[in-house]
Structure 1
Amino acid sequence: MPSILFENPQYFIVDKEHGLNSEPDRHDHANLMDWLKRQRPDIYKRWGPHPLHRLDRPVAGLLIVAKNLRAHRTLQRLFENRRITKMYRALVQGLVHPSEGELHHYHIKDPKNFKAIISENPAQGALLVGLSYRVIRHFNEITELDLRLHTGRYHQIRAQLAFIGHPILGDVLYGSTQMTLNNVIALRAYKLGFYCPFEKRKMVFEYLPSEFYESWSFKPCL
């Protein structure tokens, strides 16, 4: 189940579970905004909560959800100016070396195939994307990675890691040879940090369930 980790008069910090959409879609999938509406119908009587960013349906983690239009406009500027730190944890196939580094690639969204295309070379319409990684541990031909996102593009983490030969476990769309029993992927947005213009202080939110990486069950793709 999702949960509200923090709340003030301007925004929520919400933990989204794997398999849940961030927002409603045309296929009527279960989504975080409908869940939040059931939890806090009083907010929806006014402007209504709106997420400042999104996580793919198979991904879990922390989201900032504005409660009002003023908060949305104010916090949106932090995203536009890249003033929000976003950290992720992932399990990927293979043993990643070196133990830390940065990935810089060119990114194009391919809406027809619901994928991102990554290249080392610039192309028309491509945007430069980047992330930093650090190896936490290796085990059974799997690497646990700590990731810091420098840009936030469609499927960026999934596509960049797959491009270097280390798809996220369960991410069959990007080449994982193992899938999860419930068709989600081993990626969590576990930390957000930013200077809050409403609280007038640095805010850091972190949630990484201790059992998260022990709970994955995989099977080979057929």
Structure 2
Amino acid sequence: MQGLQVLFEDNHLIAVNKPAGVLVQGDETGDRPLGEFVKDYIKDRYNKPGAVFLGIIHRLDRPVSGVTIFARTSKALTRMNQLFKDREIQKVYWAISATRPEPLSGHLVHYIEKDRNKNFAHAYAKAKGDAKRSELDYSLMAALGSHNLIEVKPETGRPHQVRVQLARLGCPIRGDVKYGFPTPNPDGSIHLHCRSLSFEHPVKKEPVMIVANPDEQDEIWRLFKQQWG
């Protein structure tokens, strides 16, 4: 991975802009995960000998980009985990679909069940078995030809939630063949980006908002650069 982009850093937390295609945490592939690159950064920046503590707070899917936060202390890890559990963290995602949503904005409720053997989520219209209630708000931000930029604000944090709920809306995310887009992106990414996370700092109790821009090298994301602010 080239060039770690640090978005926020203090003694308790560090947030980076995860590139699409990079794992947050190691898996059976053996590919080097984002957390190891962050540890290297901390070692080099602070000249730390030995092992570096780094707690994983949340995970973005491998083909997704955007804000990813790690804890630098066990206290911060415990408190951030609780904030996520209590839904005290406001998440904003940007997605690009070839389909314009109808209606242009709305609130989606589905019941999501994850098949861990197939790494696939099913979204049902009604409660079913162990499926968990999943909610999000969405709105169309901009449209250029066949490219539609949709802002998504999940209220829950289910596996693959944004991907499967937009697919159920009829707006599969560009490149996401797992959930119905017809063709993959050449690099294996999908056009889903965690734009921002907002929360109360777990130790300082101050408001924090962390924002990440999409990849400027991606020609489709670049179409919407005026939206980045």
- Which residue number in structure 2 is paired with residue 207 of structure 1? 212
- Which residue number in structure 1 is paired with residue 151 of structure 2? 146
- Describe the superposition over 1:164-198 as per-residue Cα deviations: whole angstroms up to 9, x where unpaired: 21110000111101321111100100101011132
Are 1:63 and 2:65 matched, yes or no? no
Preserved CA contact (<8 Å) 2:76 2:202 = no
- Which residue number in structure 2 is paired with residue 194 of structure 1? 199
Letter in 2 for 1:14: V
Residues 103 and 43 (structure 1 numbering): CA distance in 2 closer, same or farther, change over 3 Å? farther
Residues of 1 paired with 2:88 and 2:48: CA distance? 27
With normalisation by structure 1, the TM-score equals 0.91
- Describe the superposition over 1:136-174 as per-residue Cα deviations: whole angstroms up to 9, x where unpaired: 122323311011111111111111111121110000111
Preserved CA contact (<8 Å) 1:37 1:44 = no
- Which residue number in structure 2 is paired with residue 171 of structure 1? 176
- Which residue number in structure 1 is paired with residue 111 of structure 2? 106
Are 1:40 and 2:45 matched, yes or no? no
Residues of 2 paired with 1:216 and 1:179: CA distance? 16
Q: What is the SS of the residue equivalent to 1:137?
A: strand
- Which residue number in structure 1 is paired with residue 28 of structure 2? 26
Which one has the bigger strand percentage?
1
**Shift of residue 114 of structure 1?**
1.0
Are 1:183 and 2:215 matched, yes or no? no
Residues 89 and 102 (structure 1 numbering): CA distance in 2 closer, same or farther, change over 3 Å? same
Aligned residues: 217
Residues of 2 paired with 1:96 and 1:196: CA distance? 35
Unaligned runs of 5+ residues in structure 2 are 223-229
**Shift of residue 216 of structure 1?**
5.8
- Which residue number in structure 1 is paired with residue 89 of structure 2? 84
Residues 76 and 44 (structure 1 numbering): CA distance in 2 closer, same or farther, change over 3 Å? farther
- Which residue number in structure 2 is paired with residue 131 of structure 1? 136
Preserved CA contact (<8 Å) 2:39 2:52 = no
**Shift of residue 212 of structure 1?**
6.4
- Which residue number in structure 2 is paired with residue 220 of structure 1? none
Residues of 1 paired with 2:155 and 2:67: CA distance? 16
Preserved CA contact (<8 Å) 1:3 1:14 = yes
The runs of at least 4 aligned residues of structure 1 exceeding 4 Å deviation read none
Over the matched positions of the two proteins, sequence identity in percent amounts to 30
Higher mean Cα deviation, 46-55 or 57-66?
46-55
Unaligned runs of 5+ residues in structure 1 are 218-222
Higher mean Cα deviation, 67-76 or 207-216?
207-216
Letter in 1 for 2:88: R
Preserved CA contact (<8 Å) 1:180 1:216 = no
**Shift of residue 95 of structure 1?**
1.4
Residues of 1 paired with 2:112 and 2:205: CA distance? 35
Residues of 2 paired with 1:212 and 1:152: CA distance? 29
